[in-house]
Structure 1
Amino acid sequence: MLTIGMLGGMSWESSAEYYRLANVLVRERLGGLHSAKVVLHSVDFAEIERMQVEGRWDDAGKALAEAATSLQAGGADFLVLCTNTMHKVFDEIQAAVGIPMIHLGDTTADAIKKAGLTTVGLLGTGFTMDQPFYRERLESHGLTVLLPSTEDRETVHRIIYDELCLGVVRDESRRAYQDVIARFEGAEGVILGCTEIELLLTQDDVPLPVFPTTRLHVEAAVERAILPDNRGTPTQSSR
């Protein structure tokens, strides 16, 4: 089994779900007492969040690249960045290490295409929804990505940072997200494009197919980790 390097802490609430899911999925696949081989580097999210707000993306990229090198030194065979938003600096992190990374946007797009859908609504942080880095990655797979209104984007972002990242899950906020989803016109499915949203919404809460990015990312990581022949180490994404 290969060792998964998890670059997390953004927030630790969702990183804990990454770790839990990886172990659950390995046990389901291999049985018995099997668990995932994981190296985790968890950053102080307050420092990264300050860089986000101040637009210091280069500094954030350098900080996460340094963390990624520690995961490689710790024995990780490949990396997953446990946050959608910080995929904005994915290329900078990948360039700093000699092991491949699994891009969260690619695993999500693969699942959407496998489901036979082409047009999806995107929920995420304001950074993920407002900036092109994530949407364009999805669109490079031939998808059409719909965004909420400006007011709805503000609501979605606020609930993520003021509640979900702090472990607060409120029925009122779930209903607010359901209202946002109901206002998507033409969406065939919905991307839960922030790793914390899965703490609030499940498929049972949404009439459209949902694509939970955390679970999809972990599923892809576990699939690579348990390759029957470790010489099949995953290669770096060409994108």
Structure 2
Amino acid sequence: MRRIGLLGGTSWQSSSHYYSQLNEGVQARLGGLRSADLVLRSVDFADVAALQSAGDWAALGAMYEREGAQLRAGGAELVGILANTMHLVHDQVARGSGLPVVHVVDVVADAVVDLGVERVGLLGTRFTMASQELYPARLAARGVGTIVPTGADAVEVDRVIYEELALGRVLDSSRASYAAIIGRLVEQGAQAIVLGCTELSMLVPPDDPAFSPVPLLDSTALHVHALLDAALAPQASSLEEGAA
């Protein structure tokens, strides 16, 4: 088993889900007392969120490049960034660590292609939903279009993430708001919905067919599966190397 370096803390709520799911996955695959070989660097989300709000992605990239180097120094052999939004600095993490970094969007794209749909709705932070390079460009390269909430819907999706889920608050009223927003994305032609924020499975039940008229793709669960595939594979030839 390769040691997985986890770059988390954004938020610690979602990082705890990664930790649990990675260990549950190893136990399910290998049995007995087996657990995941992990090294975690958990940053202070308040610092990261302040730089996000200021639009200082250069500083965030430099910070995450240093964190990538620390993960390598801690013995990591591959890396997972435990936040969709922070994949905006994926290349800096790869450069700093010099290790394969399993990209959450590529993993989600594989699942979308497997579903055979041509258009997906995307829920995430305002930074994720506004970025053209993160989801839309990578999905378009696979022949898939992306729809994002706009106006008040976009504001509400982002607000719930930062003001509730990142603080461990899960409210039925917000769950109802998300169900309505998903319905509007489906009306616009979304054939599946990407839960493109690692906290969203706390609020939106991805395995409940009654919640959404179309499939829900949980980026956290898909990312965990891919990280375990990489850690347990005989060789890492399927991973991105460096900053590719």
TM-score scaled by length of structure 2: 0.94
Shift of 1:131: 2.1
Q: Structure 1 CA distance, aligned partners of 2:90 and 2:192?
A: 25
CA contact (8 A) 1:5 1:78 kept: yes
Identity of aligned residues (%): 41
**What is the DSSP-based 3-state SS (H/G/I as helix, E as strand, rest coil) of the residue aligned with 2:108?**
helix
Distance 1:89 1:6 in 2: 15
Deviation at 1:138, TM superposition (A): 2.3
Query: How far did 1:208 drift?
Result: 1.1
Give how far 1:77 is off: 0.7
CA distance in 1, matches of 2:91, 2:142: 18
CA shift, 1:95, in A, is 1.6
Q: CA-to-partner distance for each residue in 1:26-51, whole Å, 9 max, x for gaps? A: 11111111111111100000000000
Name 2:14's counterpart in structure 1: 14
Shift of residue 232 of structure 1?
4.1
Q: How many residues align?
A: 237
For each residue in 1:109-162, what CA deviation from the matched residue of structure 2 results, as whole angstroms up to 9, or x when unmatched? 001111112210000000111121212222222211011122100000000000
Q: Could you say what secondary structure the match of 1:183 adopts?
A: helix
8 A contact 1:146–1:187 mirrored in 2? yes
Residue 202 (structure 1) aligned with residue 205 (structure 2): yes
Which 5+ residue runs of structure 2 have no aligned equivalent? none
One-letter code aligned to 1:118: E
> For 1:70-219, what aligned pairs fall within 5 Å after superposition?
70-134=70-134, 135-184=136-185, 185-203=188-206, 204=208, 205-219=211-225
Secondary structure of 2:99's counterpart equals coil
> What one-letter code is carried by the residue in structure 2 that aligns with 1:107?
V
Give the Cα separation in 1 of the matches to 2:180 and 2:221: 23
More displaced, 119-128 or 143-152? Answer: 143-152
* Structure 2 equivalent of residue 49 of structure 1: 49
Which one is further off, 142-151 or 6-15? Answer: 142-151
Q: Is the 8 A contact 1:85 1:128 kept in 2?
A: yes
Q: Give the drift of 1:20.
A: 0.5
Contact persistence 1:189–1:209 (CA under 8 A): yes
CA separation in 1, counterparts of 2:112 and 2:33?
32
Contact 1:100–1:234 (8 Å) recurs in 2: no
Give distance in 1, aligned partners of 2:157 and 2:147.
Answer: 14
The amino acid that maps onto 2:153 is D
Q: 2:133 aligns to what SS in structure 1?
A: helix
Q: What is the distance in 2 between the residues matched to 1:26 and 1:117?
A: 30
Task: Give unmatched runs, 5+ long, in structure 1.
Answer: none
Report the equivalent of 2:36: 36
Instruction: Write out per-residue CA displacement over residues 197-227 of structure 1, whole angstroms, 9 at most, x where no aligned residue.
Output: 1110113122210110011001000011112
Q: Distance in 1 between matches of 2:237 and 2:66?
A: 23
In structure 2, what is the equivalent of residue 221 of structure 1? 227
Distance in 2 of aligned mates of 1:23 and 1:112: 25
- The change in CA–CA distance for 1:235 and 1:186 in structure 2 (over 3 A counts) is closer
Distance 1:26 1:33 in 2: 9
> Shift in Å at residue 236 of structure 1?
2.1
Instruction: Quote the offset at 1:233 in angstroms.
Output: 5.9
Q: For the Cα contact (< 8 Å) 2:23–2:36, is it kept in 1?
A: yes
Query: Counterparts in 2 of 1:228-239, with a 5 A limit?
Result: 229=234, 231-232=235-236, 234-236=238-240, 239=244
AA aligned opposite 2:204: L
The separation in 1 between residues aligned to 2:194 and 2:24, in whole angstroms, is 23
Change (3 A) 1:232 1:61: closer
